[in-house]
Amino acid sequence: MATNLLEQVQWSHDDILREYKNQQACERGFRLIKDPLFFAASVFLKTPRRIVAVAMIMALCLMVYSLGQRQLRQALEQAQETLPNQKGKPTQTTTLRWILQCFQAVHLVRLDGVMHLIKLNDRQRLILPFLSGACQKYYLLC
């Protein structure tokens, strides 16, 4: 094993391997950005400055996404509950991408000054208690 960390502390092989494996979450996040559904390939920018700005925004979005996924998984772990994954099997390590896809068909409509939810189904109602209070408030649950 090799490392470029030149500290006085000696790293064991297990420590180096653990640190390397911890980088996988970041790599998976960048895979999400490259996904055709994310439409990053359709962005055209003329100046390097704008490219840097968009890269920074994308990195911040990835950080928020990772924090949201972490919060969801911690809530599931604390409650000792599971949610159905794409195949309908229970899991505590669901992805935030799957959760967001579950909510694509929900619409919030204001009619005569009153907010109404359209198409909130049982699966979405099952998921919402594990999301933040702001999400529950948005979907008019509190």
Domain range summary for the chain, segments of one domain joined by +: 43-138
The DSSP output letter for 129 is G
- Give this prediction's pTM: 0.68
pLDDT digits (tens, 9 = 90+) for 72-116: 999 999 999 999 888 889 999 988 889 988 888 787 788 888 887
The answer to whether the CB of 61 falls within 8 A of the CB of 69 is no
The 3 state secondary structure assigned to 86-113 is CCCCEECCCCHHHHHHHCCCCEEEEECC
The DSSP output letter for 118 is E
Cα–Cα distance for residue pair 21/7, rounded to 1 Å: 20
For the chain, what is the mean pLDDT? 81
